[in-house]
Structure formats: C-alpha cells, structure tokens
C-alpha cells in the first residue's frame, strides 16, 4: 500500500530555487483564497493545487466556469515552456499524467446529471431558487410542513405543484391548522415553477439523487477523483448557481461526522468566479454561507474561493480564509491603487519588499503566498514560482469526452431515473376517490388531474373576465346616469323659463 503524503510541494522561491514551499495537509481545513486579475493564472493555480491534492489521495470538487479544467484528464505532451521551468526549479517529483475525473452537469446535457429531491432541498433554498417574497416563502414552508405531517414525499416539481394545488382547493380547512393561504400567492409560485421547468431545472429535481459519497472517492491507483461541475450555462443565472453550491455544502455538513485532528482533509472545494456566489444575494443567504464555511471545518472539508478581487468576498467569510495566494492586480485609477494597498495589508508584512508594488508587477506564474504554519500562524508573505501543471490546460475534444463518459465509475448509476410514489400520485388517487367520477357508469371516465387543473385555470380566467365586464358596465351606467341627470335638469330649467316668460 502506498505511503500517505503529509505535505504537498507547490512552489519555489522566485530568487532562490533551492527554497521551496510545502503545504502541510494538517493545516488544510483553514480554507483559502486565490485572487488576481483576469489572465494572471488563477486557473493554473487551481489546477496545480488540485493535482497535488489528488496525488495525496484527496478528492476534489471544482466548478469550471470557462471549461479550462477539463484537460486535467490528459497528460502534458512536449512543451518547451514546461521543460524550461522544470530545469529552472530542479523539480524531481514532476510527472506528466492525467487524473481520474468525473464530470457533472446540472442540466444533464453532456455529463452525469446531478439530481436531488424537493424534500432534500430546504424550504429556504427552494424559495431562493424561485425568487419569492416573504409571504410566498411562508407558503412554501407550509407546503413542506403539510407534506411532513402526511408523510408525503416531495421528489420532483410535480409533487410541490400538487401540494400547492391541494392547498388552494382546501384553503378554508387548512387555515384553521396552518396559516392564511392566499390563492394569488400560490398562483405566483406556480408561475415561477413553470419558469424553472423552462430553464431545465425540472431535470435537477428527480431521482436518483446525488450520493455525496461518490464525490469523495479515490480510484484503484490511490489517486483522489477530480469532480468537475460544468458551470458554463449555469453562470447565466447566478441565483441558481449560488443556491446549488450552498445546498451541496450544507448537505456535506449534515451528513459528514464531526472529527478531530486528521492527517489530511476529506474533500477540497474550489469555487471559481466566487463573486457570483454573492452577487445580489440577500443578507440572510450570505449569513448562511458564512455559517456553513465556518462550521464545515470540523468535518475536514477545505474550501478555496477563486475570484478577481478579495473584496468580492463578504468580510464575514473573508475572515475564515487563512491560506492566501495573490496573483497580479491591475491599478489603472487612484481607487484601484487604494484598493491594492488595502489588499496588501491582508498579508503578513515582509521587510524585503513592498507588497502593494509586488501585486502590480508580478509575472503570470508568480504568486504572493501566505499559508498557516504548523502553529497556526500566517507565514511572512513571499514571491514564489508556481509548480508546473502535470496535465493539459484546455478543453478536451469530443472523442476524449466520450471516452471519459464510458469509463466513469458512475455511468450506470446516474443514467437511470426513478419515479417512486410521492405526493403527486397520492393526491391524484385521493382526488379520484372523492370525485363524482366513482359514480359514473362502467367505461366512462372523468377528467384527469391535468385536465382539472386546466379547467380550474379556465374557470378562474372566466371569473376574472366576468368581474372585469361587471366593473365596466357599472361604471358605464353611473356615467350615463349622471349625464342623463344633467340633461334632464337643463330641460326642466328651459321649460320653467319658457312658462314664466
């Protein structure tokens, strides 16, 4: 059995290649931050760190926004720049190789479909996905409570819609036990659910749900498995992206046992374009993310946020990020220079150079690094030359993609779909048993549940149309009545004037 790695070698001193920096895996649950301007090598840093964690038998999960990480499955081929850098730093442990990788996709178009059920999603997060108001959010909580009280499974969007339809039809009876149920709010929620269906999220709420153990595996060669989430299309809706990642972290926090003093982390997360997690996020959601980031350390899960500017990360969360890697930043305005000076103060000062100047003049493959030492104290910031990646750094071709899919250990698991008996089927059966359809002669059938929903919509539309017609007619009568009174008054006055003349 291979001997476990306790430290990973990631960089060398820029001026003295004999001095190297190693990250102690015992300190790997302190979380980290990778920051830098566009084109300064943040993705390279992510890939190099991920490779070394995989070599240390640690599984990695990364969201890939630009699809640059897919090349990690293929080994580097002849490259003059890589060979030159290897000779410069006298590295002996470098080996060109690909890594075992599983690709995931929320939309299920190209890779393994990530699924979960409505029941596993918190009411708070589900409301966040639907972008609901406080009143509508309360109705979602009531829907989840009704399902729990009746032991009805909420697996897909059909189930939550059936619960809402049931709440609307039985609002008078349910008000006594639950809360005031307003039809207008329910129809708004159902409209937002329809929008989710159009955005492919119907495939996300389904079974077989993702088993978190599958993203925490090592392969037969004692390498951690690289899990890559295809986030190219997901970036179009940052609200869904942030909610999904928060759900994933929350599920890990709930399912993993609390442990103490391990030799290495159980899982490492890399969140690329991390500023998208917090864009337009309400305060309660940011507080929830901060809580999960802070507490998940006891589960030995390490999180790295990758972003352009450290200030993109809220302050409460930024405090939790002790291991920091800074790439070059751009200073075009006085405000930019002021921000860079403030950012440089986040590193432990080095008397040999000015950090703020170094941040604006570094090469692509150079870092400013400050990690925690064995005592938990941040090290003095230095400029380091990054380790060359061992795998490719661009998108794989279609032939390689098909090969990765066929060789995936989860191919026969997540290609299947289950449809267990849940709230939708139970309520449909209950509705049929109570409907007049049971008294129809043999062979005659009543309307289906979908037809009844459509009929209800038509009835509501007819009702509002009649209300609109009644309102117009009432206003018209009032106007005509007032006009007629004015005409009658003028005629009366004219007759009296003529008689008294």
pLDDT digits (tens, 9 = 90+) for 154-213: 888 888 999 998 888 888 888 878 777 888 888 889 888 888 887 777 778 888 888 888
Dist. CA 140–CA 432, nearest whole Å: 25
Q: Phi/psi at 117 (nearest 5 deg)?
A: -110, 160
Q: Given pLDDT bands bounded at 50, 70 and 90, which one contains residue 59?
A: very high
Please determine, looking at this structure, whether the domain spanning 7-115+211-396 carries the CATH number 3.40.50.12160. Answer: no
Q: Given pLDDT bands bounded at 50, 70 and 90, which one contains residue 438?
A: very low
pLDDT exceeding 70 applies to what percent of the chain?
81
338-360 pLDDT tens trace: 888 877 877 888 888 888 888 88
pLDDT at residue 236 above 90?
no
Segment among 97-111, 245-259, 478-492 with least mean pLDDT: 478-492
For tokens 């890697």, the residue is: 325
Cβ neighbours of residue 39 under 8 Å, at least 6 residues apart? 364
Dist. CA 374–CA 281, nearest whole Å: 36
Q: Do the bridges between strand 60-64 and strand 101-105 make them parallel or antiparallel, or are there none, so unpaired? A: unpaired
Q: Which of 279, 284, 275 is nearest to 306 (CA)?
A: 275
Dist. CA 73–CA 103, nearest whole Å: 10
Give me the pLDDT at residue 500, please: 56
Give me the pLDDT at residue 476, please: 56
pLDDT at residue 5 above 80?
no
User: Reduced to 3 states, what is the DSSP secondary structure of residue 223?
Assistant: coil
Do 51 and 389 meet the contact criterion of CB atoms below 8 Å apart? Answer: yes
Using a cut of 0.75, tell me whether the model's pTM lies above it: yes
| Stretch 10-16: mean pLDDT | 76
**Residue boundaries of the structural domains of the chain:** 7-115+211-396, 119-206+411-434
């Amino acid at each position: 059995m291979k001997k476990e790695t306790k430290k990973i070698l990631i960089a060398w001193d820029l001026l003295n290649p004999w001095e190297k920096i190693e990250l102690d895996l015992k300190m790997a649950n302190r979380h980290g931050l990778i920051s830098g301007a566009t084109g300064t090598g943040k993705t390279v840093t992510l890939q190099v760190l991920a490779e070394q964690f995989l070599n240390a038998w640690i599984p990695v999960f990364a969201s890939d926004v630009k699809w640059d990480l897919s090349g990690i499955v293929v080994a580097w081929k002849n490259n003059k720049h890589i060979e030159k850098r290897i000779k410069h730093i006298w590295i002996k442990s470098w080996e060109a190789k690909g890594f075992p990788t599983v690709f995931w996709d929320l939309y299920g178009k190209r890779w393994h479909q990530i699924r979960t059920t409505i029941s596993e999603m918190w009411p708070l997060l589900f409301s966040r996905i639907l972008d609901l108001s406080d009143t509508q959010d309360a109705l979602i909580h009531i829907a989840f409570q009704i399902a729990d009280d009746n032991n009805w499974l909420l697996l897909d969007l059909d189930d939550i819609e059936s619960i809402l339809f049931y709440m609307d039809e039985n609002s008078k009876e349910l008000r006594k036990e639950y809360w005031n149920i307003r039809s207008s709010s329910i129809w708004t929620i159902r409209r937002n659910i329809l929008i989710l269906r159009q955005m492919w999220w119907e495939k996300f709420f389904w079974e077989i749900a993702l088993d978190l153990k599958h993203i925490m595996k090592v392969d037969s060669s004692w390498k951690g498995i690289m899990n890559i989430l295809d986030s190219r299309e997901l970036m179009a809706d940052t609200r869904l992206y942030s909610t999904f990642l928060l759900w994933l972290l929350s599920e890990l926090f709930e399912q993993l046992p609390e442990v103490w003093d391990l030799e290495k982390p159980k899982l490492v997360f890399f969140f690329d374009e991390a500023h998208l997690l917090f864009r337009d996020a309400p305060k309660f959601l940011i507080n929830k993310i901060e809580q999960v980031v802070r507490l998940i350390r006891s589960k030995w899960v390490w999180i790295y946020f990758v972003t352009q500017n450290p200030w993109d990360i809220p302050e409460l969360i930024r405090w939790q990020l002790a291991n920091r890697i800074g790439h070059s930043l751009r200073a075009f305005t006085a405000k930019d220079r002021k921000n860079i000076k403030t950012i440089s103060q986040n590193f432990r000062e080095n008397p040999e150079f000015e950090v703020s100047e170094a941040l604006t003049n570094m090469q692509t493959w150079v870092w400013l690094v400050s990690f925690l030492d064995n005592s938990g104290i941040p090290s003095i910031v230095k400029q380091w030359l990054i380790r060359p990646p061992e795998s490719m750094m661009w998108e794989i071709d279609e032939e390689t993609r098909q090969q990765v899919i066929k060789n995936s250990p989860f191919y026969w698991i997540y290609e299947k779909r289950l449809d267990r008996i849940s709230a939708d089927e139970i309520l449909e059966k209950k509705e049929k048993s109570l409907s007049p359809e049971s008294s129809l002669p043999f062979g005659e059938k009543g309307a289906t549940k979908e037809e009844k929903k459509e009929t209800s919509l038509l009835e509501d539309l007819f009702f509002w149309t009649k209300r609109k017609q009644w309102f117009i007619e009432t206003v018209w009568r009032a106007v005509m009545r007032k006009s007629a009174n004015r005409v009658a008054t003028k005629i009366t006055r004219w007759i009296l004037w003529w008689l008294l003349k």
